[in-house]
Structure 1
């Protein structure tokens, strides 16, 4: 119960704010202080490009920089489906991009299936969705039209399936749903480069990665 949680929190010395009682702040007065921009928002372990797991430290400024990217300014990211685990950096996009821009987070009620995507769009008005390359492939194979009604579908993280992307664009490209291919290691705060795709882009057997996100520089290296 709520009372039990309050007692337990008080025993641990954790401040409690009772928002349902006007003028009451529970255990003492709580002063809300904005954290410094360079303080940590989260630490996430990833294999990165070395294959050796390591902790990646992401600051509040990094998260705000992602949310402020001009690519998220349109209506496609005003209502975003939150379905990723909290420990997956895609959750940074799903939660903070819409919230810090005055939008809405729609929390998925279960497994993300083609039917769940259709319901999220039709019932909850979801307009923005990120799915991993693997999940995108499953959804596009099962029901490529399930993405219709979304403003933008972002996908990436692994080698892309041109067939899956082609199927989705054939079903949804003409009804205003954009497909955006993304790439970015955790160190770059979720995404580093992105680009909207056309049917011509995916017809050649390889998929372009797009252009750098705001305030990001992409460098192509050779063997040296």
Structure 2
């Protein structure tokens, strides 16, 4: 089966393409670097020709007020082209708890993306994942200096990009869910504790200070970012992943 993976050169997309091709499918990575631009629609019709499935893993360059417009335009373009090409299944990757953190514009934008897909003409599946281990360094960098890293004690359930990619690949070759599948890591840890674990593993002596107003995740409270009962739980723990990443 031919599967078009838009955003197929990124962190998750490149992994999805590799998994699908290893399983005998004809997965093709598409991105602006390959001539496919979802914002303008350039190259989209050609990318979807003959595809039975399209997986959309694109994201905007920033997580700010431009996000809703990005997802509105890209989903409109994708659904129009997918319907015209006769694509039978559209898959997107979203965020666990996106609808529970309304103060984050990027999360509101992801909910918009989901709603556009649900209302569109193409049978669909939505995979909602928790934060990736690979993104935690970026999160720490937002509110750090040479002496301290300030983080809120927000509860998180992060997971490895490899585990995310495997589920996205599984869903993409299955029957359209016409719904959502939540996936999450095996451990619930506060973000400040994740920061301490990360710094210790790297021999970084900076102190982690709890600051409930620090960074994007200060907008999330309680169990907002945790998966509900029935979610797929991956096996890779953060310490296991970190040990391999720092070896």
Give the TM interval when normalised to the shorter protein: 0.3 to 0.5
Q: Which has the higher helix share?
A: 2
Q: With the length of structure 1 as denominator, give the TM-score of the two structures.
A: 0.34
Q: Bigger relative contact order, structure 1 or 2, given CA contacts below 8 A and separation 6+?
A: 2
Q: Which has the larger radius of gyration?
A: 1
Q: With the length of structure 2 as denominator, give the TM-score of the two structures.
A: 0.31
